[in-house]
Structure 1
Amino acid sequence: MSSQVRLRLLPSARCLFDQPVQVKVEGLRSRQVVTMRARSTDEKGVVFGSSATYRADGSGEIDLLRDPSLSGSYVGVEPMGLLWSMKADALHKKFQKPCALNPHVVKFSVHEEDREDRMLAEVTNERLLIGNGVSRLPVKGKNFQGVLFTPPGEGPFPAVLDLCTFASEKRASLLANKGFVVLTVPVYSDHPDNVKQMHLDHFKEACGLFTTTTKYELCEVGSKGVRIASQSKGGEIALSLTAFVPGVEATVWINGCSAVLLVPLYYKNQQIFPPLLFDTSKLIHTESGASIMKYGFENPVAEKNKDSLVPIEQAKGRFLFVASEDDLCLDSKVYMDQMVERLKHHGKENFETVRYPGAGHLLEAPYGPYCTSSFHRVLPYVVLWGGEARAHAAAEVHLWSKIQEFFKTHLSCDATQTKPKL
């Protein structure tokens, strides 16, 4: 490495996962062209990486806030491009960070142009999912298990139930950094092939953790009701909770369905929804080896399928419907439009919508590697998730702010907001 070249991350090389950093290089020759790289390894051992070519200014400096990438994983001015453009070194891999205790560690480096073996400077970015003072507690109820994240301070805190398709702590832990007490519960706690039916009572029990006296002594919860964050399969569970369980004040639905999919849903020992099934003949196979599955489910508003639709007009709380217009997993934009039409038909105005052109199915917290395709896990196929990397990354930044704004707007308690610390 060159002793003259310095690579800096501002304001600090240690930050929260959802915080941007300013990447700067100093000590280069005037107008020198270099290759900048980012590398990370996920919890499955898969290596992700990106690279971009930059030209220094007359003073030998590069600032990703102002300077454009000339070529590489992205082009143009993209201050966080080295992060969101990282790709796996193997096909059809999604970045795995299921446990919030482990930070996302990224190595940024500067190299002589197109010479990976000639590194000039390097710095490590430690991107934390849990800020100082946030507690993490595994929770096991009678019929559910999850992880509870509580912010620092005395509260009271607004309560959020985070419904993810499979166990994941990223969104829950990051929301706890913003002053919410969050319980994250996976929809699938067993292998999907073993799940023949689902029970809304189990998720109602999870909601009750915030509203009843339990052994976890959640005295810091100040909510009179619960907010729900949901995505994909979790979306239909969230809709069902709003329709059948009192006390759900605000629900974020991201790229889900307006009906129940794949397995029947039961409540109080009775089936309330038969499922829409998947027609494998409608899969669209591509040369990449991944398939488009968004057309595999029948139209839920067709007369023969209406029993699978969730009666969201029964909900008392507010909805934020979010749909990616290039979702190749579910036809989420169509499903969102169907729900909006249904609510309007019943004279309801308790919703708002957000559409993201160019974004794919996997809208997550910002600044993680963008995934184009991976194994579906619920259906045994490698699928295309959709989206264009730059547009998808911008959507994640906007949505993350929108979710926090929506939850803070619809509060029934004077919740203390805390500033996360590292």
Structure 2
Amino acid sequence: CFRHHTLFRTKQSVSLESSVCEEMSSQVRLRLLPSTRCLFDEPVQLKVAGLRSRQVVTMRATSSDEKGVVFSSSATYMADGSGEIDLERDPSLRGSYVGVEPMGLLWSMTADTLHKRFQKMYALQPHVVRFSVHEEEGEGKMLAEVTNERLLMADSVTRLPVREGNIRGVLFTPPGGGLFPAVLDLYTFGGGLSEKRAALLASRGFVVLTVALYGHGDMPKNIKEVHLDYFEEAIEFLKKQNKVGSKGVGVISLSKSGDLALSVASYLSGVEATVWINGCSANTALPLYYKKSQILPALMCDFSKVIITKSGAGIGKYAMHNPLAEENKGSLVPIEQAKGRFLFVASEDDLNWDSKAYMNEMVERLKRHGKNNFEGVSYPGAGHYLEPPYGPYCASSFHGFVGKPVLWGGEPRSHTAAEVLMWKKIQEFFRTHLSCDFQTNNKL
């Protein structure tokens, strides 16, 4: 009887322990603070509770972009003595990144195929990320999950497609009765129209017009020349908007559109502040026209100098012709005649071209002309595509001008840190130099 009773109790204990384990698993909680819904450029805090003391788990993030490309990341964590994990406090032991990286699961996401860049072009479509916690052992059973909806546009911002005259773009306007600074977003190269940066800037208190240059709607798919008159028309349209309170406009750019922004600031009136991000100091790729006359020839590149790597992606940093060579100086944008202010932003590990050298050349030129209407910042370890923070870092993708995949440069952690700093710097720059009496909050 005693043996039978002991056996019964042992079986009962095993059954009870099993039941407790199942119950613990079902009690694991994954929390997203302060909310599961936020703007794309806002950090969130991930916390796990209900684990066993010192339990090792894998945390994952998965998402897909507008092209259907799947992006994912994973990192291994150990719970503390209370069975909790806090990504703002605890280090990843291994996985897509190592160390304390509160937003690591977001920026370390990579595509399931080579040479793909994360694309979120349309502001009405949020970046939806699924975070989950999995057992480290066995088949990695999922213990908990939560979905993060990362909005490109604040709920109260208005979005208006623009098709007026030659302009093709989208206008974003903050809510409220106050007046706001105006910004023209020249995210124009690569074809089509990108709304992400413009929508996020509007969510931070700016009236923003983003325009397409080609490949959008009824616009030609390819162009052989650029006309400055198009941007002049866009500036006049922007200045006429009811909620615009700044005397002039700001201009923001990236890559090829960097030299377009320099030309807009140098040749057109009404530009008070220009942000140049990883561009060139000369007009590149396509000749520039104004009032039907060519004002700048195109600085070209030598494709034989593109270095092909084992992955099949090329390095184009050394392919561009030297803009300071005597035969190319005519392509330099005459920024010394600009009346507004410049913010130059350069990545020190840009593999597309030598942005840092172009920035240094422009700074020296402005100094020689007795100008002090500029500030420059460079970021070590950052690559070419500096964008609003917390999107997946892009190591390589297809380059339309080169006609094949290229490496963009940068180390993911350093690149993301640069994006956070740059995004704050850009907003401060525009608020300081776009003179305007406006009523808004930094966060809507």
Contact 1:141 1:206 in 2 (8 A): no
Counterpart AA for 2:277 = I
Q: C-alpha separation between the residues in 1 aligned to 2:222 and 2:82?
A: 62
State the Cα deviation string for residues 349-384 of structure 1 (Å, max 9, x = none): 100011000000000000000000000123311100
The reply to whether residue 350 of structure 1 matches residue 373 of structure 2 is: yes
Contact 1:131 1:420 in 2 (8 A): no
Q: C-alpha separation between the residues in 2 aligned to 1:238 and 1:38?
A: 36
Paired position in structure 1 for 2:15: none
Counterpart AA for 2:196 = K
When structure 1 is superposed on structure 2, of 180-189 and 148-157 the one drifting more is 180-189
Q: Offset at 1:69?
A: 0.3
The reply to whether residue 125 of structure 1 matches residue 148 of structure 2 is: yes
Q: Offset at 1:420?
A: 4.1
Q: Offset at 1:143?
A: 2.0
TM-score (norm 2): 0.92
SS in 1 for 2:57: strand
- From 232, 241, 260, the counterpart of 1:204: 232
Paired position in structure 2 for 1:257: 280
Contact 2:214 2:222 in 1 (8 A): no
Paired position in structure 2 for 1:280: 303
Q: C-alpha separation between the residues in 2 aligned to 1:219 and 1:64?
A: 44
Paired position in structure 1 for 2:83: 60
Q: C-alpha separation between the residues in 1 aligned to 2:248 and 2:327?
A: 35
Paired position in structure 2 for 1:215: none
Q: C-alpha separation between the residues in 1 aligned to 2:213 and 2:323?
A: 21
Q: Offset at 1:288?
A: 0.7
Paired position in structure 2 for 1:162: 185
Paired position in structure 1 for 2:18: none
SS in 2 for 1:196: coil
SS in 2 for 1:12: coil
Q: C-alpha separation between the residues in 2 aligned to 1:193 and 1:146?
A: 15
Paired position in structure 2 for 1:182: 208
Closer, same or farther in 2 for the Cα pair 1:317/1:385, shift >3 Å?
Answer: same
When structure 1 is superposed on structure 2, of 233-242 and 186-195 the one drifting more is 186-195
- From 172, 181, 201, the counterpart of 2:198: 172
Closer, same or farther in 2 for the Cα pair 1:186/1:115, shift >3 Å?
Answer: farther
- From 326, 331, 339, the counterpart of 1:308: 331
Q: CA RMSD in A?
A: 1.4
The reply to whether residue 44 of structure 1 matches residue 67 of structure 2 is: yes
Paired position in structure 2 for 1:107: 130
Q: Which has the larger radius of gyration?
A: 2
Closer, same or farther in 2 for the Cα pair 1:132/1:106, shift >3 Å?
Answer: same
Q: Offset at 1:114?
A: 5.6
SS in 1 for 2:426: helix
Paired position in structure 2 for 1:29: 52
Q: Which ranges of structure 2 fall in alignment gaps of 5 or more residues?
A: 1-21
State the Cα deviation string for residues 167-209 of structure 1 (Å, max 9, x = none): 1111100000111000011344469973111100001111111
SS in 2 for 1:231: coil
Counterpart AA for 2:211 = V
Q: C-alpha separation between the residues in 2 aligned to 1:290 and 1:127?
A: 31
SS in 2 for 1:194: coil
State the Cα deviation string for residues 132-164 of structure 1 (Å, max 9, x = none): 210000111322211100000012110000001
State the Cα deviation string for residues 381-414 of structure 1 (Å, max 9, x = none): 1100000000001000000000001001112221
Percent same amino acid among aligned pairs? 69
Q: C-alpha separation between the residues in 1 aligned to 2:183 and 2:365?
A: 26
Paired position in structure 1 for 2:355: 332
Counterpart AA for 2:168 = Q
The reply to whether residue 244 of structure 1 matches residue 247 of structure 2 is: no
When structure 1 is superposed on structure 2, of 160-169 and 250-259 the one drifting more is 160-169
Contact 1:17 1:128 in 2 (8 A): yes
Q: Offset at 1:210?
A: 2.2
When structure 1 is superposed on structure 2, of 2-11 and 181-190 the one drifting more is 181-190
Contact 1:136 1:148 in 2 (8 A): yes
Q: C-alpha separation between the residues in 1 aligned to 2:294 and 2:75?
A: 54
Closer, same or farther in 2 for the Cα pair 1:179/1:304, shift >3 Å?
Answer: same
SS in 1 for 2:253: strand
Q: Offset at 1:223?
A: 1.1
Q: C-alpha separation between the residues in 2 aligned to 1:378 and 1:208?
A: 30
SS in 2 for 1:261: coil
- From 77, 80, 84, the counterpart of 2:103: 80
The reply to whether residue 219 of structure 1 matches residue 237 of structure 2 is: no
Contact 2:307 2:314 in 1 (8 A): yes
When structure 1 is superposed on structure 2, of 197-206 and 138-147 the one drifting more is 138-147
Q: C-alpha separation between the residues in 1 aligned to 2:137 and 2:277?
A: 40
Q: C-alpha separation between the residues in 2 aligned to 1:73 and 1:326?
A: 21
Closer, same or farther in 2 for the Cα pair 1:329/1:122, shift >3 Å?
Answer: same
Contact 1:211 1:225 in 2 (8 A): yes
Higher helix share: 2
Q: Which ranges of structure 1 fall in alignment gaps of 5 or more residues?
A: 213-217
Paired position in structure 1 for 2:11: none
Contact 1:50 1:86 in 2 (8 A): yes
State the Cα deviation string for residues 305-338 of structure 1 (Å, max 9, x = none): 0110000000011100000000001211111011
SS in 1 for 2:26: coil
Paired position in structure 1 for 2:8: none
Q: C-alpha separation between the residues in 2 aligned to 1:36 and 1:341?
A: 48
When structure 1 is superposed on structure 2, of 132-141 and 97-106 the one drifting more is 132-141
